[in-house]
Amino acid sequence: MCVFCYNNLQKEATEYTKKINSNFAKKFGINLEHADCSEYELATSNQIKSAKGIKIETEAGNTVWDLNQFSFYENDAVSDTIHPSLWLNGKSCYSAGVFEVVKDAIYQVRGLDLSNLTIIKGKTGWIVQDVMTTVETARKALDLLSEALHTDVRSNVKAVIISHSHWDHFGGIKGVVDEENVGNPEEGKIPIYVPAGFDEECIKEYIFAGTAMDRRNDYQFGRKVGSSEKGVVSGGLGIDHPKGTASFITPTNRIEKNQTLFIDGLEIEFQLTPGTEAPAEMNNYFKDYRALWIAENCCGTLHNLYPIRGAQLRDSSAWANYIQEAIILFADRSDVVFQSHHWPHYNTKEEPDGVKKYLLNNAAFYRYLHDQTLYLANKGLTAKEIAKEIKIPEKLAANWFTRPYYGSVEINARAVYTKYLGFYNANPVELDPLTELQEAKLFVDYAGPEEKILEKAEKDFLRGEYKKAANVTNKLVIANPENKKARQLCADAFEQLAYQSESSIWRNAYLQGAYELRNGVGERKLSRVKNKDMMYRMSPKYMLGYIGTLIDGKKAGDKELKLNLIFVNDNAEGTEKTVYQGKEVTVEQKFYVHLYYGALLSYENYQKDEEDVVTVILPKEIFFKIAEKQIESVKDKIDTNDFKKLLELEAVIEDLNTKDSFPIIERSDSSLTL
């Protein structure tokens, strides 16, 4: 008789998992002994310099990137522990180096970062399109380009274009340009072009919910898991995430409308695509090279309408519409479409409409997801039911470039439902739902004892019913984190689900879950945001908004404070002056800030003329110290008639950066018990 073996070891794929994966391979014609699909061919062709096994370190010697960790892709055949389609994607991403996109004109560095760095030849130098995630990887990318092209690319960067407000496209900026060289090209400086709304959206996406997102990213990226055939095998958009330094430089030029610009003498048409893959995003068309940059609106995989790290929901309808608009605007004039992740797609002899087909299939996929979700919702299905019911037509599902390596049909369908109808399924039992812990305890109470539930879960596991086994054992773990057997069985079930996942981020999440069940959360401090450059560049309005999210409502519930804040900055453009530290300085912005029973209400460009309002004059960076609980340390740089009030405000602020990582796979807050 088959008996389940309880321990904390990583396991091989079971016979059930092997069967599921090999059935998929059969259905989609995947050769398990040798990668030979069209995407793999595109990923590996036109390489002019290899970066095989590349390792990148910080100045202090910490590893930022190490492709050797993925050397299992040197094997021709797929492992049983990797979904065959995801294996094709990972193996394609493993191809690293400098690639020619358009002969003598456009080059791309791939396989050094989650995203690509692309350079486009201008009339006198190079235009850099997107700058990767970290300073170290971007710097290395420019070095490789210089070596491959036998020219000093770095000294000849004439402009930078950043396609959208996601960190893997702007974080490497200081590896490409020095901040003091950024500015007006007429003064010999380097301009940075971004889509309208870029700065604001960066902050909204990464700072306001940054702490929760960072912890959830552990799951999306499988941060504790490590790369191996039983671990992380692909990031879905690139092979992995670099661990270097993220930077930010305030852009010089914002593209506010669709327009044509000459940048370093090159004619570039800009198409804004707001509210698609990112809230601020744009495509560009390079007429001289018949080349369409599609940003991340198409990216060689099905993307996320909702990334599982957490983010605001994306609009699949707008997404489809803007790709359709790109087809009308550019497809007939393009021989190649290239982007910030994965590899370009071309018109070829065999497929003269290759570019159009690529765009059309992407647009159709997002449109289908949108329309079918609403079709099913209007028939009365809930989000969870739609995720199971929605089926992608064979013709759309069969394209490798829209397979779910990053996004997934199931999550995307739930995202469309939630965008239109919200998270509530209309069943009144969900009006005031039990918490995860309450529900788990109730479940054990009604269906228990724990041993009996575990016995059934074990049987399900042995039948290959991993979702069922994971579901009930996770409830056991939540109800009783000390139940070692439940943890081990749940971990093993997650692991098999990971091996069966075509989506890299599902795989990573299951594996991270298994890791934490076996080893615990471990030592790790929460971090609200890693990009300090970005943090300190927040406008005063967003800084105040951010500080509002740091207030402990329980502590501040009976507090009222009134401040007239005058932010001064000698580099600001305003004409209004005030006296600060005995000198006349420029006023950047004024706010009336009212802490009203826990809520921080800010009034932009407004001051309250009342006796109990405290006036505070200071640069915004100094005020920011309040968020770090260090206002006392800058007391002598603050002009105010009542410093005590700032201390009172600081007293209700919590610095989350000093807190330990919170649990996800188990709950620990006993105050939430039933």
Interface residues toward Zn ion, by CB under 5 A: 115, 166, 168, 296
Q: Which is nearer to Zn ion, 115 or 273 (CB)?
A: 115
DSSP assignment of 371-394: HHHHHHHHTT--HHHHHHH----H
**Shortest distance, position 133 Cβ to Zn ion, whole Å:** 8
**Shortest distance, position 163 Cβ to Zn ion, whole Å:** 8
Q: Where are the beta strands (DSSP E) in 239-279?
A: 253-255, 259-263, 266-272
**Shortest distance, position 52 Cβ to Zn ion, whole Å:** 23
Q: Which is nearer to Zn ion, 168 or 650 (CB)?
A: 168
The residue behind tokens 């005058």 is 566
**189: which residues sit within 8 A by CB, 6+ positions away?**
181, 182, 183
Copy the structure tokens of residue 361: 């299939």
**Shortest distance, position 160 Cβ to Zn ion, whole Å:** 16
Range 643-660 burial, b when 16+ CB lie within 10 A, else e: eebbeebbebbeebeeee
**Shortest distance, position 223 Cβ to Zn ion, whole Å:** 18
What DSSP designation does 435 have?
P
The residue behind tokens 């054990």 is 444
Q: Which is nearer to Zn ion, 319 or 591 (CB)?
A: 319
Q: Which is nearer to Zn ion, 100 or 296 (CB)?
A: 296
CB-nearest residue to Zn ion: 166
Q: Which is nearer to Zn ion, 304 or 500 (CB)?
A: 304
What does each C-alpha distance from 578 to 587, 606, 610 come to in angstroms? Answer: 6, 15, 19
Q: Which is nearer to Zn ion, 170 or 592 (CB)?
A: 170
Work out the angle at residue 65's Cα, subtended by the Cα atoms of residues 60 and 68, and round it to the nearest 5 degrees.
Answer: 120
**Shortest distance, position 168 Cβ to Zn ion, whole Å:** 4
**Shortest distance, position 640 Cβ to Zn ion, whole Å:** 42
Q: Which is nearer to Zn ion, 17 or 301 (CB)?
A: 301
**Shortest distance, position 149 Cβ to Zn ion, whole Å:** 25
What DSSP designation does 94 have?
T
**Shortest distance, position 297 Cβ to Zn ion, whole Å:** 9
**Shortest distance, position 187 Cβ to Zn ion, whole Å:** 32
Q: Which is nearer to Zn ion, 115 or 504 (CB)?
A: 115
Is the separation of the CB atoms in 362 and 337 below 8 Å?
no
As a whole number of angstroms, the distance between CA 630 and CA 618 comes to: 15
Q: Which is nearer to Zn ion, 166 or 667 (CB)?
A: 166
As a whole number of angstroms, the distance between CA 214 and CA 219 comes to: 9
Q: How many residues does the chain have?
A: 674
The residue behind tokens 């090999």 is 22
**Shortest distance, position 294 Cβ to Zn ion, whole Å:** 12
Alpha-helix runs per DSSP H in 152-221: 167-170, 198-206, 210-221
Q: Which is nearer to Zn ion, 117 or 444 (CB)?
A: 117
Residue 631 main-chain phi, psi, to 5 deg: -65, -30
* Number of continuous H segments (helices) and E segments (strands) in the chain: 22, 22
Copy the structure tokens of residue 624: 């920011």
As a whole number of angstroms, the distance between CA 111 and CA 621 comes to: 37
Q: Which is nearer to Zn ion, 81 or 247 (CB)?
A: 247
DSSP assignment of 268-331: EEEEE-TTSSSSSBEEEEEGGGTEEE-TTTS-SS---SS-TT--PPP-HHHHHHHHHHHHHHHG
